[in-house]
Amino acid sequence: MQAERKDTVLATEGLGKQVSSPEGMLAILSDVSLAIARGESVAIMGSSGAGKSTLLALLAGLDEPTAGRVQLAGNELTALDEDGRAAVRARHVGFVFQSFHLLPSLTALENVMLPLELAGRADARGAAREVLARVGLSERTGHYPRQLSGGEQQRVAIARAFVTRPDVLFADEPTGNLDATTGERIMDLLFELNAASGTTLVLVTHDRELASRCGRVIRLEAGRITGASP
Partner 1 sequence: MRARDPPRSRTHHRGFAVSALRLALRGLLRDLGSGEISVLIVALVVAVASLTAVGFFTSRVGRAVTQQAGEVLAADLRLESPRAIDQGYDREGEARGLRVARVMSMPSVVFFGQESSLVALRAATEGYPLRGKLKVADRPFGPARVAEGIPDRGEAWVDSRLLARLGAPIGSTISVGAGQFVVTRVLDYRPDQGAGFSDLSATLLINMADIPGTELIQPGSRVSRAVLFAGAPREVENFREYLKRTKKDGERLQSVADASPQIRASSDRAGRFLSLASMVSVLLAAIAVATAARRYARRHLDHVALMKCLGASQALVLRQTVLQLVVIATAVALVGTALGYLAQSGLAWLLRDLVRGDLPAPAGDAFWLGLVTAVAILVGFALPPLLQLKRVPPARVLRHDLEPPPLRFAVVSGLALAAVLGLIYWLIRDARLVTYVAVGIAATFLVLALAGWLLVRMLAPLRGSVGVAWRYGLANIARRGRDSVVQIVAFGLGFMVLLLLALVRGDLLREWQASLPEDAPNYFMINIRPDEGDAVRAFFAERGLPPTELVPLVRARLVAINSTPVSDLKFQSERAAGFVEREANLTWARTLRDDNRLVAGRWWSEGDEGGARVSVEREYAELLGLKLGDEVTYDVAGEPVSARVESLREVRWDSFQPNFFMVFSPGVLEGVTGTLITSVHVGPSQRPALVDLVRRFPEVTIIDIDALLKQVRDVMDKASVAVQYAFRFTLAAGLTVLLAAVQATRDERR
- Under the criterion CB under 8 A, does residue 56 sit at the interface with partner 1? yes
Q: What is the largest CA-CA distance in the chain?
A: 54
Closer of 94 and 151 to partner 1 (Cβ): 94
Q: Which stretch binds partner 1 (CB under 8 A): 28-36, 95-103, 133-141, 176-184?
A: 95-103
- The DSSP bridge pattern shows strands 224-229 and 75-76 to be unpaired
Least distance to partner 1, CB of residue 207, Å? 17
Least distance to partner 1, CB of residue 128, Å? 13
Least distance to partner 1, CB of residue 230, Å? 27
- Under the criterion CB under 8 A, does residue 62 sit at the interface with partner 1? yes
Q: Where are the beta strands (DSSP E) in the chain?
A: 8-21, 24-37, 41-45, 67-72, 75-76, 93-96, 168-172, 200-204, 216-221, 224-229
Question: Which residues does 159 contact at the CB level (< 8 Å), separation at least 6?
Answer: 108, 112, 128, 131, 132, 134, 135, 137
- The DSSP bridge pattern shows strands 75-76 and 67-72 to be antiparallel
Least distance to partner 1, CB of residue 21, Å? 14
CB atoms within 10 A of CB 22: 5
- Under the criterion CB under 8 A, does residue 153 sit at the interface with partner 1? no
* Residue 184 phi, psi (nearest 5): -65, -45
Least distance to partner 1, CB of residue 43, Å? 17
**Cα torsion 188, 152, 176, 171: sign:** positive
- Under the criterion CB under 8 A, does residue 89 sit at the interface with partner 1? yes
Q: What is the CA radius of gyration of the chain?
A: 17
Q: How many CA atoms within 13 Å lie on the side-chain side of 30?
A: 8
| Burial readout 106-123 (b: 16 or more C-beta within 10 A, e: otherwise) | ebbbbbbbbbbeeeeeee
Q: Which stretch binds partner 1 (CB under 8 A): 24-32, 76-84, 176-184, 214-222?
A: 76-84
Q: Which stretch binds partner 1 (CB under 8 A): 26-34, 109-117, 133-141, 209-217?
A: 109-117
Q: Which stretch binds partner 1 (CB under 8 A): 19-27, 105-113, 148-156, 206-214?
A: 105-113
Closer of 97 and 191 to partner 1 (Cβ): 97
Closer of 74 and 215 to partner 1 (Cβ): 74
Q: Residues in the site for partner 1, rule: CB under 8 A?
A: 11, 53, 56-57, 60, 62-63, 69, 71, 73-76, 79-80, 82-83, 86-91, 93, 95, 97, 101, 103-106, 110, 114-115, 117-120, 160, 172
